[in-house]
Amino acid sequence: MLIHFSKMHGLGNDFMVIDNVTQNIFLNTEQIAALADRNRGIGFDQLLMVEPPYDPDVDFHYRIFNADGSEVQQCGNGARCFGRFIRHKGLSNKNSFRVSTKGGVISIELDKEGLVRVDMGEPVLQPQAIPFKANKQEITYILRAEEQTFLCGAVSMGNPHCIMLVDDVDNAPVDQVGALLTKHERFPEAANIGFLQIVSDQHARLRVFERGVGETQACGSGACAAAVWGMLQERLESPARIELPGGTLEISWQPGQSVFMTGEASHVYDGQIVL
Ligand SMILES: N[C@@H](CCC[C@H](N)C(=O)O)C(=O)O
């Protein structure tokens, strides 16, 4: 099987992107994990598939697979690259597209400055819908693991996020606590674990241990979830600048409305591989 693909990244969160409008590629979990291998494969955090629409209301369908081969509901940095890829491949000449994902419909807009703005939909806070095991909805929950206690937020942006405040994100135990909590039994579908340091009313720093990957340079849906949680606690104001190890995103949100994420999306190279 010959696969044509592009390598792209959003703030260092990197992707293999496959056009499945003009190709008909099916990859199983083992094949995706092998391609994601940074030593023996192409190397990426997520595989993104651009598919024809399943519904007349949308322009494309967007499938997302983590480096471990698991299919997931949402990827924010990937959404910006998805928009740039559609233009790069000439799959549409529109400047904005409606795209369905497993986590809901999003809208992607290519702006004139070369940035990409995504309407990520409304955040989900209701525990059952995240899914997160809790008796009632709260802003902060107590999570216990291995005799340690963590005060966390639980927010879905289509995919589940657990966020905690830290004083110094540079020295946060991201690998250790991320690995401990990502498969916590209160997140039945596992979760992405965010470590948020508030710098000022409109500026925060964030590192994310991603479900199915480990720590990445940036997580777009994680930045949206963390900004919403910061705003719910009145620790952040919209629009907020969320600084990740790979770069900065602008996140806007008003309660009852969609979250908007704006940032860069970069094309690295086009390639082909035989499997
Ligand atoms: N990097 C992403 C999120 C990708 C999916 C995530 N690892 C999950 O399992 O939900 C982003 O930019 O949002």
Is the domain of 210 the same as that of 270?
A: no
Residue 17 CB: number of other CB atoms within 10 A?
Answer: 24
- 129: tokens are 């819908």
Q: Report residue 255 CA to chain centroid gap.
A: 20
The alpha carbon dihedral of 113, 83, 263, 261 has a sign of positive
In the chain, which ranges are E strands? 2-10, 13-19, 46-51, 60-66, 71-72, 96-101, 104-110, 116-119, 141-145, 148-156, 160-165, 192-200, 203-210, 214-216, 240-244, 247-253, 259-263, 266-274
User: Does one domain contain both 65 and 144?
Assistant: no
- For residue 211, report the distance from its CA to the centre of ligand 1, in Å: 7
Do 18 and 82 sit in the same domain of this protein? Answer: yes
Residue 10 shares a structural domain with residue 101? yes
Check the annotation: does 211 bind a ligand: yes
Q: Are residues 251 and 200 in the same domain?
A: yes
Range of the domain at 9: 2-120+264-274
Cα–ligand 1 centroid distance for 101 (angstroms): 12
Among 81, 152, 162, 219, the one annotated catalytic: 219
Confirm whether residue 95 is marked as ligand binding: no
| 3-class state of residue 46 by DSSP | strand
Domain count, the chain: 2
Helices (H), the chain: 29-36, 76-88, 174-181, 220-232
Q: Does the Cβ of 217 fall within 6 Å of ligand 1?
A: no
Residue 118 in contact with ligand 1 by CB distance below 6 A: no
Residues 169 and 252 in one domain: yes
Reply yes or no on whether 81 is catalytic.
no
Annotated catalytic, 152?
Answer: no
Same domain, 207 and 150: yes
- 244 plus 147 within the same structural domain: yes
Question: ipTM more than 0.95?
Answer: yes
Which residue among 17, 46, 47, 259 is best mutated to probe the pocket of ligand 1, counting the most ligand atoms within 8 A of its Cβ? 46
Q: Identify whether residues 107 and 141 lie together within a single domain.
A: no
Residue in this structure with the two tokens 């494309």, named with its chain if needed: 60
pLDDT in tens, the chain (275 residues): 999 999 999 999 999 999 999 999 999 999 999 999 999 999 999 999 999 999 999 999 999 999 999 999 999 999 999 999 999 999 999 999 999 999 999 999 999 888 999 999 999 999 999 999 999 999 999 999 999 999 999 999 999 999 999 999 999 999 999 999 999 999 999 999 999 999 999 999 999 999 999 999 999 999 999 999 999 999 999 999 999 999 999 999 999 999 999 999 999 999 999 99
User: By C-alpha distance, which of 263, 216, 219 is closest to 239?
Assistant: 263
β-strand pairing of 240-244 with 203-210: parallel
Contact 78, 48 (CB under 8 A): yes
| Pairwise CA distance, residues 145 & 63, whole Å | 32
Say yes or no: 36 and 157 in one domain: no
Tell me, what CATH number does 11's domain have? Answer: 3.10.310.10
139 and 209 inside one domain: yes
- From 9, 72, 124, the mutation candidate for ligand 1 (largest count of ligand atoms within 8 A of CB) is 72
SS3 178: helix
